């Protein structure tokens, strides 16, 4: 047992971190997955489901479902692209507000982690995870 299974460790750490960020971002009414997805949408809206999926490395069907939840919450709007097959997503006013209100909360979480772990450590960890 030289090195414990990195996958198990990673899954576990991921669950803990998700719980932490979910709690942090909860006041604005979304979870971290939704908040993160909305940020991605904001960056290039309107964007098609497939394009979005490719960018965030999620299955297109996953994007479709997650986006529909956001739509039901009134945070995004779905439309059609020029290509009639394409479904496009755009943030609503409410969606933008969630991003604005959530930003400081997110920053707070980030800061709290940096204080606890150190910026250098965070950077290294980040780079390490990206290399996986």
Partner DNA sequence: ATGGGTTGCGGGTATATGCCCGCGATACGG
Partner DNA sequence: CCGTATCGCGGGCATATACCCGCAACCCAT
Q: Which positions lie near DNA, rule CB under 7 A?
A: 11, 15, 19, 31, 33-34, 37, 48-51, 57-62, 64-66, 69, 72, 78, 81-88
Report in angstroms how near the CB of residue 58 gets to a copy of itself at its nearest.
Answer: 8
* Binding partner of 61, given a copy of itself, DNA, none, CB within 5-8 angstroms per partner class: DNA
* Contacted by 86, from a copy of itself, DNA, none: CB < 5 to 8 Å by type: DNA
Tell me whether residue 64 or residue 114 sits nearer to DNA (CB atom): 64
Q: What is the 3-state secondary structure (H, E, C) of the chain?
A: CCCCCHHHHHHHHHHHHHHHHHHHHHHHCCCHHHHHHHHHHHHHCCEEHHHHHHHHCCCHHHHHHHHHHHHHCCCEEEEECCCCCCEEEEECHHHHHHHHHHHHHHHHHHHHHHHHHCHHHHHHHHHHHHCC
The Cα–Cα gap between 77 and 79 comes to 7
- List residues binding a copy of itself (CB under 8 A): 2-18, 20-21, 32-33, 36, 56-58, 106, 109-110, 113-114, 117, 119, 121-126, 128-132
Which of DNA, a copy of itself, none binds 93 (CB below 5-8 Å, type-dependent)?
A: none
């Amino acid at each position: 047992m030289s090195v414990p299974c990195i996958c198990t460790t990673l899954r576990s750490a991921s669950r803990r971190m998700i719980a932490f960020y979910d709690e942090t971002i909860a006041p604005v009414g979304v979870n971290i997955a939704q908040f993160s997805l909305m940020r991605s949408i904001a960056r290039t809206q309107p964007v098609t489901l497939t394009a979005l999926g490719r960018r965030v490395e999620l299955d297109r069907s996953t994007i479709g479902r997650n986006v529909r939840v956001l739509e039901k919450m009134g945070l995004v709007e779905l439309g059609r692209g020029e290509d009639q097959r394409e479904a496009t997503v755009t943030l609503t006013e409410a969606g933008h507000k969630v991003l604005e209100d959530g930003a400081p909360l997110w920053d707070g979480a980030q800061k709290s982690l940096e204080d606890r772990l150190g910026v250098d450590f965070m950077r290294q960890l980040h780079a390490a995870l990206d290399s996986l």
